[in-house]
């Protein structure tokens, strides 16, 4: 059995490795992200992660597939990845001085058995000036991030505090995923211990 991460996100790869999972293959889902309209953010990320997982599982039915999808929401309005710099500025203005909720849906599947869950983290932004927004966009960081910011990068200076799983904001709720993987027979702490003993 192989472990497959159905995501091209370098942050998710890094987080899997931090969990002790080093022997895995990356096979991103290629399908367009289409979800049912009128879903709440938690339902949306669960559906999108299920779709990604099912796509990869269709060609790798005997392997363990991990798929995830993350969105940022302000007052239940979902902010995806910015289309351009103007869109990034609009998102950052919406986040300025406010709370936003980061939702990540995670799906794990193996041999026809599938589990899907989601995690929510509350992030509080400091008030941003227009100069702050322009300079942050000039770093290029907002352009491939849900909600237009990356807490693990330069965006850390925009965040006053969080409530919940920090790693969820990076795109993978590692504590929840570890508990899910345990139900599929994968003990991440045992893998981490083996990795350290080999080092």
E-assigned strand segments in 28-98:
64-74, 77-79
pLDDT of res. 188 = 95
Respond yes or no: is residue 69 known to be catalytic: yes
Provide the percentage of residues in the chain whose pLDDT is more than 90. Answer: 87
d(CA 45, CA 64) in angstroms, rounded, equals: 20
Q: Write down the pTM of the prediction.
A: 0.92
- For the segment 77-109, what is each residue's pLDDT rounded down to a tens digit? 999 889 999 999 999 999 999 999 999 999 999
32 band by pLDDT with thresholds 50, 70 and 90 = low
- The b-or-e profile of 161-178 (16+ CB within 10 A means b, else e) is ebeebebbbbbbbbebbb
Please state which CATH number belongs to domain 3-198.
3.90.950.10
Closest alpha carbon to 146 in 56, 44, 53:
44
Express each pLDDT in 152-182 by its tens digit: 999 999 999 999 999 999 999 999 999 999 9
Q: Which of 69, 87, 144, 187 is catalytic?
A: 69
């Amino acid at each position: 059995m192989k472990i497959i991460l159905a995501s091209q996100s370098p942050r998710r790869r890094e987080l899997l490795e931090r969990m002790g999972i080093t022997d895995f293959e990356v096979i991103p889902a290629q399908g367009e992200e289409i979800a049912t309209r009128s879903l709440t953010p938690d339902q949306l990320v669960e559906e999108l992660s299920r779709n990604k997982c099912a796509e990869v599982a269709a060609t790798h039915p005997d392997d363990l597939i991990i798929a995830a999808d993350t969105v940022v929401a302000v007052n239940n309005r979902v902010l995806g990845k910015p289309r351009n710099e103007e869109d990034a500025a609009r998102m950052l203005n919406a986040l300025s001085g406010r709370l936003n909720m980061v939702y990540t849906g995670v799906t794990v599947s193996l041999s026809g058995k599938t589990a899907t869950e989601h995690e929510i983290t509350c992030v509080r932004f400091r008030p941003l000036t227009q100069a702050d927004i322009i300079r942050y966009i000039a770093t290029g960081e907002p352009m491939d991030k849900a909600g237009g910011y990356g807490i693990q990068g330069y965006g850390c200076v925009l965040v006053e505090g969080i409530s919940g799983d920090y790693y969820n904001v990076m795109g993978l709720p590692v504590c929840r995923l570890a508990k899910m993987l345990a139900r599929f027979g994968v003990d991440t702490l045992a893998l981490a211990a083996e990795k350290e003993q080999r080092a």
